[in-house]
A and B are shown apart, each in its own frame.
Chain A
Amino acid sequence: MSEELLQVAVVGHTNTGKTSLLRTLSRDTDFGEVCDAPATTRHVESTRILVDGEAVMALYDTPGLEDAPGILDWMEARRGPRAPGAETLEAFLESGEAIRRFEQEGKVLRQLRASHVGLYVIDAREPVLGKYRDELSVLGLCARPLVPVLNFVAGPDTREAEWREALARLGLHAVIGFDSVVYDLQEELRLYEKLRSLLDRFRDPLTRLMEARAREAQWLERAAAELVADLLMDAAACTLVVPVQAVQDGSALTDLQARIRRREQECAQALLALYRFRAGDYAARQLPLEDGCWGLDLFTPEALGHYGLRTGEGAAVGAAVGLAVDILALGTTLGAGTATGATAGALAGHTPGLGRRLAQRLRGRRELRPGEATLRLLALRGRQLARALSRRGHGTEKALELDTPTDDAWRRGRLPPPLRRARLHPDWSRLTPGAGGLESRARALALGELTAALMDAADTPQSPQTR
């Protein structure tokens, strides 16, 4: 299929988020340079969007239009008050002015003329000013369809309605709202849909792109849920067998906590990579997980409080003071109401554990594992990170900050059955030394169930937090 490739120029006033839009559309956090200042991009840079390794669209990032009235003045001085046309533009581009004073604008106009369609990016937080009309009339000289794209529409100070009205008065009704910072699949699909209706020649590649994006979103959602589920299985099943002294002097707890922290960090990294955010350079400028809430230690009372987990009872108290652990030793376990389920399971023969535990008890060893509150916390954080990443545009410069999640699914009630089952199978956990049951069918089934549970318990849409 060596057909012509759809060429899309991204144009607009300076500092409206053209490069951000391009980053978000191409899922490329490192494309170009983004900064809240005028004329950050002064060159034309291009990227191609691939579906299954095949290019379906070329996007061109252009410098901002800064002096459209100046160009119109120049044209009027040359041509008189007669309305400028395509030949005026031709004359302008060939004139010395287009190289000297208006070189930046010249680049934009040349690129738009060389493309099939232009996305006219508008910062929807800006007031509707007359200068945009001047810009649109200059761009109109290129005789290419223009799709106005309202950027930053997800924020509280958007003036989307005003903009739509003003653009409608100029005859531009096909306006797309697309926030390059707060990503929304539907918005992206609408954008491509609009291009498809404007450019019938490119119907096929655009349809493929839309299908690929929708498919990818589903895949991402499931894969992210599975990553979090895997973390939870590992944490729930994790059991360390330690000498009694290690429990008493706290070194066993430190070890367990370190294992769980490391495992959570791995999961976070995997999620970042999954959504194609750079894990390597997050500490420098993107997604500093150590900052803000994400840096909250798993085992502090603040972390539990932050996630709305009550710290006043049972295992949660232990978690709050750093003892996020049940000490599963016979004698305490059999008596304790908290572990009745586990014990019943062990007695029912699901684990060969009972005899082994007895033996260990006799040899002066204890089993340590993370408490329920820790599991709840991991679940809340994992889900929240996955959700935030799925809503994060690749054009976002600001670090990801997560606030208290709004859903109650994991805060109260019993843990979901697959997790309770995992509690009985120490060999399901990567954190248990020498675990051999990672590939077992039972773990795979439980993982599938837990993944489904994580995906089902969709919480209410949150206010955008990634701004």
Chain B
Amino acid sequence: MAIPGPLGADRGAPYSDAAMNLTTPQTALPRPTFADRLTAEAVRIHEDQTGRVLDEDGAWDAGRRSGGDLERRIIARAGATRLGGEIRQAAEGVLTGARWMLVAALALALLLGTGAAGAALGAPLPDRGGQVNIAWALGGLLGVQTLMLAAWAGTFLLPSGGGGLLGRAALQAAGTLGRRLLRRQAHILALRALLRLLGRRRLGLCTAGALTHALWAAFGVGALLACLWTLSVRQYDFLWGTTLLSEADFVSLVTALGSLPAALGIPVPDDALIRASRLGDPLPAEGRIQWSGFLLGCLLIYGVIPRLLLALLCAGISRRLAARLPLDLTAPGYARLVPRLQEDHQRIGIIDPRPVDPPALPQRRRPRPPPGRGAPLALVGYELEHAPDHWLQRADGSRCLPLGQVDDRASRRDVLAALDALDPAPAAVVAVCSLARTPDRGAESFLSDLKARAGVPLWVLLDQAGTARERGIDPQARHAVWRDLALRAGAERCLPQRTPEKDLQDAGTLLEALEQPEEPQP
């Protein structure tokens, strides 16, 4: 169905854009027109129907290259598809067809109006030829109209929006008719997209409204013309009658209705003439012109002009709305395009490649006399969790000698100094490490320092398997990485052999190991 508004709006858009561009350099790209959106919508409908996204590399590229916001990209991509091109052409044809359908519909309404006028004037009082009941004729021509106008105004209160039954019905009918008449896929898609866009919320309201009013205006014009013609070439006597109302009521009604036409200079009956025209009274011949003026004036003022104004208003609004109607970007059909159309990141890649593995740390060794039998183990805690409560702090003094805990550079130094000062030498120095820590090169360099400064065997005890497990770390894997690191740092033994379930509670593992010096290292 042709709505002149949206179509004309295409041409109007560039001008309003020029003004916008001055203030916002970002929107320097041409603003999408209604036809653009129509194409995008038609492509979406097609993709929704077939359940498959059109996969044309050129189109994706065009969408990505177009820049700007999501809607622009979607529109650019749809326009660049082969189907999009066809739809764009088809849209022209559909719009022309729609215009013709509008003309036809208006002509039909005009004819109906003529017919209604003929019925109102052609069926006067049966037994007295040439006589017309003025109230009856007016009611027949304006009554339904006025009721429908009230109903139209009332639909604004509905939550889903009405917008005029007649207009909606006309849109529906046009859609159905179009689907029957059109054969080519692109045309059908263009029509469906047009109907769908025109059906969108406020735009739908205004479009349907414009249609409704235009059709009623055509009806009114038809009635007016028919009355004009009939009253020109035939002679009528206008009468009125009432059973229930008083004469005064009727007089004031006619006067009130006639006041607007009278203001325009149309001759209307005065009080005396109205009273004189009552049914049964002798007929005053000179009243015919006034009564005709009254009838024609009422038709014009109450039938044609309001509808015409409303039609123009609705068409104007729908034109504006159509020019800036956004696509419904959250619709699944559009949303699924987004990841491919709008990149939100751009990988630059590796700008500084991975280093070669750092050289093994130099192995120095402090010469020291071998430890005597029964010498204690020197314990060092390395980056332990809950360090103050760790069992290391309470380790038994005769077999184990806690040297302290390390968690930064200063404490490293303190521990190394304490180790230097230890005399006689311990049986071995044990670094108690936590499986909850990620083994790193800092740990490696500390362990190899420890070994170099101690001059006695270095053991690594891996503790806190339970803590690591609670944190979601895989203790087995972590254990393996620590073990590799310990061996690289030159440790003689890495304990315990198997990862325990829980955190260690005391130095038991160490003392056992001390009893079995020959434990093989895998």
Which residues of B sit under 8 angstroms from A79, Cβ to Cβ?
none
Contact code string B402-445 (vs A, CB < 8 Å = 1, else 0): 00000111111000000000000000000000001111111001
- Asked if residues B407 and A130 are in contact (CB atoms below 8 Å), the reply is yes
Report the separation of the CA atoms of residues A435 and B494 in the bound assembly, to the nearest whole angstrom: 71
Tell me if A50 and B440 are in contact (CB < 8 A).
Answer: no
Closest chain B residue, CB of each to CB of A208? B26
Instruction: Mark B194-205 against chain A: 1 for CB-CB distance below 8 A, else 0.
Output: 001001000010
The CB with the most chain A CB atoms within 10 A, among B160, B330, B352, B385, is that of B352
| Nearest residue, chain B, Cβ from A100 | B359
A38 lies within 8 A of B439 (CB):
yes
Say whether A133 contacts B408, CB under 8 Å: yes
Once the chains bind, are B346 and A50 in contact (CB under 8 Å)? yes
Give Cα distance in the complex from A100 to B362, angstroms: 13
Residue among B332, B358, B383 having the largest count of chain A Cβ atoms under 10 Å: B332
Question: For the complex, is B344 an interface residue (Cβ under 8 Å from A)?
Answer: yes
Q: Is A255 an interface residue (CB 8 A)?
A: no
Q: With A and B bound together, what is the CA distance between A430 and B343 in angstroms? A: 30
A131 to B355, CA, bound (A): 23
Tell me if B352 and A44 are in contact (CB < 8 A).
yes
Q: Please, how many angstroms separate the alpha-carbon atoms of A60 and B349 in the complex?
A: 10
Q: A47 contacts the other chain (Cβ, under 8 Å)?
A: yes
Give the complex CA separation of A456 and B40 in angstroms.
30
Contact B408 A130 (CB under 8 A): yes
* Contact assessment for B346 and A48 in the assembled complex, using a CB-CB cutoff below 8 Å: yes
Of A168-176, A223-231, A347-355, A368-376, the segment with at least 4 beta carbons within 8 Å of chain B is A223-231
- Is the CB of B522 closer than 8 A to any CB of chain A? no
A45 CA / B356 CA spacing, docked (Å): 17
Interface residues of B in 106-139 (CB under 8 A from A): none
Whether, in the assembled complex, B180 has its beta carbon less than 8 Å from a beta carbon of chain A, the answer is no
Q: Is A184 positioned at the interface, with any CB of B under 8 Å from its CB?
A: no
Contact present for A52 and B69 (CB under 8 Å): yes
Q: Known contacts being A43-B354, A44-B352, A52-B68, is A129 close to B440, with CB within 8 Å?
A: no
Q: How long is the Cα–Cα vector from A51 to B343 in the complex, in angstroms?
A: 8
Task: Judge whether B358 and A100 touch: CB under 8 Å.
Answer: yes
Count of chain B residues near A, Cβ 8 A? 65
CA distance A58 to B346 in the complex (A): 9
Q: Which residues of chain A are near B387, meaning CB under 8 Å?
A: 127
Q: Total A-B pairs in contact (CB under 8 Å)?
A: 172
Tell yes or no: A72 within 8 A of B by CB. Answer: yes
Q: Given A73-B409, A219-B329, A273-B339 in contact, is the A39-B440 Cβ separation under 8 Å?
A: yes
The contact string, 1 if C-beta is below 8 Å from chain A, for chain B 436-480, is 111111100110000000000000000000000011111001000
A223 close to B335 (CB less than 8 A): yes
Contact stretch, chosen from B43-51, B286-294, B298-306: B43-51
Contacts of A126 in B (CB 8 A): 436-437
Contact A28 B345 (CB under 8 A): yes
Give the contacting residue for B45; candidates A14, A67, A107, A439; CB below 8 A: A439
Known A38-B481, A131-B407, A438-B48; contact A53-B68, beta-carbon cutoff 8 A? yes
Interface size on A, residues (CB 8 A): 72
Could you tell me which residues of chain A, from 130 to 148, have a CB within 8 Å of some CB in chain B? 130-131, 133-134
The docked-state distance in angstroms from the alpha carbon of A52 to that of B65 is 11
A257 at interface (Cβ–Cβ under 8 A)?
A: no
Asked if B342 is at the interface of the complex by the 8 Å CB criterion, the answer is: yes
Q: How far is the CA of A216 from the CA of B347 in the complex (A)?
A: 20
B19 at interface (Cβ–Cβ under 8 A)?
Answer: no
Contacts of B346 in A (CB 8 A): 47-48, 50, 55
Residues on A with beta carbons closer than 8 Å to the beta carbon of B331: 223, 226
Q: Which of A155-181 contact B (CB under 8 A)?
A: 157
Residue numbers in B under 8 Å from A52 (CB-CB) = 67-69, 342
Q: Are B348 and A47 in contact (CB under 8 A)?
A: yes
Q: Do the beta carbons of A129 and B329 come within 8 Å of each other?
A: no
Binary contact track A102-139/B, C-beta < 8 Å → 1, others 0: 11100100110000000000000111011101100000
Of the residues A58, A131, A219, contact of B442 by C-beta under 8 Å: A131
A14 to B441 alpha-carbon distance, docked (Å): 10
A39 and B443 alpha carbons, distance in the complex (Å): 13
Most buried by A among B339, B345, B436: B345
- Give a binary string over B338-377; 1 marks a CB under 8 Å from any A CB, 0 the rest: 1100111111111111111011010000000000000000
Nearest B residue (CB) for A226: B330
Is A274 at the interface (CB under 8 A from chain B)?
A: yes
Find B440's partner among A42, A66, A223 (CB 8 Å cutoff). A66
Closest chain A residue to B345, Cβ basis: A26
Given contacts A53-B68, A273-B336, contact A68 B352 (CB under 8 A): no
Is A50 in contact with B409, judged by CB distance below 8 angstroms?
Answer: no
State whether the Cβ of A69 lies closer than 8 Å to any Cβ in chain B.
yes
Q: Give the chain A neighbours of B410 by CB distance below 8 A.
A: 130
Tell whether, in the assembled complex, residue B350 and residue A45 are in contact, meaning their CB atoms are under 8 Å apart.
Answer: yes
Are B339 and A223 touching (Cβ within 8 A)? Answer: no
Q: Find out whether the CB atom of B350 lies under 8 angstroms from the CB atom of A43.
A: yes
Assess the A50–B343 pair: CB atoms within 8 A.
yes
Whole-angstrom distance between the Cβ of B201 and the nearest chain A Cβ: 9
Given the known A-B contacts A274-B336, A441-B199, are A36 and B473 also in contact in the complex, defined by CB atoms under 8 Å?
yes
Q: B14-38, CB under 8 A of A: which get 1 and which 0?
A: 0000000000000000000000000
Cβ contact within 8 Å between B355 and A103: yes
Whether A318 is near chain B, meaning CB under 8 Å from some CB there, is no
A26-B344, A127-B385, A130-B407 as given contacts; A66 in contact with B355, CB under 8 Å: no
B442 touches A38 (CB 8 A): no
Whose C-beta in chain B lies nearest to the C-beta of A108?
B352
- For A137, the closest partner residue in chain B by CB is B409
**Within the assembled complex, what's the spacing in Å between the Cα atoms of A408 and B196?**
36
Distance of A436 Cα from B99 Cα, bound (Å): 26
- Assuming A46-B349, A219-B330, is B358 touching A13 (CB within 8 A)? no
Supply 15 further A-B pairs (C-beta < 8 A) apart from A69-B446, A438-B48.
A26-B344, A52-B67, A67-B441, A101-B358, A102-B358, A103-B356, A131-B407, A131-B409, A134-B409, A223-B331, A226-B331, A430-B51, A441-B199, A444-B196, A467-B472
Pull 20 A–B residue pairs with CB atoms less than 8 Å apart, ordered by A. A26-B344, A37-B438, A38-B481, A44-B352, A47-B346, A48-B346, A48-B348, A50-B346, A72-B409, A104-B441, A127-B386, A130-B411, A131-B383, A131-B407, A133-B408, A227-B335, A270-B336, A274-B336, A438-B49, A441-B199
Counting from the closest, the 5 A-B pairs by CB-CB distance are A130-B408, A44-B352, A66-B440, A103-B355, A46-B348
